[in-house]
């Protein structure tokens, strides 16, 4: 079975500083991995996905993530935080068939002015 651990439940950054949200996964096969964002009282929006192509994946709104098999990690980064980035972020891994998702517990990103 696959699993995913988001290492920080809360991250606080100042506007204009870099963002790092950490995610480790466990899987017995080569997984597909995603990052979703959820703004307050909103649904989930796909930020980016890794599906065994390039290990550095670029997403929307300046976010990117790097798949590191040796470290079983898929950390999300952004060079410069914006106030509108304040939200909950979920790291997600698929099963081997790609039709089931397992969610991490989420990381709440706070951005200070």
74 interacts with other proteins by CB under 8 A: no
Instruction: Find all residues with CB under 8 Å of 2, minimum gap 6, and list them.
Output: 25, 26, 27, 28, 31, 93, 94, 95, 102
Minimum distance from CB of 16 to other proteins (Å)? 29
Is there binding between residue 26 and other proteins (CB under 8 A)?
no
For residues 62-93, one letter each, b for 16 or more C-beta atoms within 10 angstroms of the residue's C-beta and e for the rest, the string is ebbbebeeeeebbbbebeebeeebbbbbbbbb
Select 8 or 15, whichever has its Cβ closest to other proteins.
8
Give the Å distances, CA to CA, from 109 to 17, 29, 30: 13, 30, 28
Q: Which is nearer to other proteins, 70 or 99 (CB)?
A: 99
51 near other proteins (CB under 8 A)? yes
Near other proteins in 89-108, by CB under 8 A = 90, 94, 98-101, 103-106
CB of 79 to other proteins, least distance (A): 25
What are the residues binding other proteins (CB under 8 A)? 9, 32, 34, 36, 42-44, 46, 49, 51, 90, 94, 98-101, 103-106
């Amino acid at each position: 079975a696959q699993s995913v651990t988001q290492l920080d439940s809360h991250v606080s950054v100042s506007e204009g500083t870099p963002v790092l949200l950490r995610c480790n996964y466990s899987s017995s096969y080569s997984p597909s991995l995603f990052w979703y964002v959820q703004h307050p009282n909103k649904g989930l929006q796909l930020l980016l996905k890794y599906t065994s192509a390039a290990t550095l994946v670029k997403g929307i709104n300046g976010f990117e993530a790097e798949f590191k098999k040796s470290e079983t990690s898929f950390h999300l980064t952004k060079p410069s935080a914006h106030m509108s980035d304040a939200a909950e972020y979920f790291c997600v891994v698929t099963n081997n068939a790609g039709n089931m998702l397992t969610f991490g517990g989420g990381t709440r990103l706070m951005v200070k002015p």
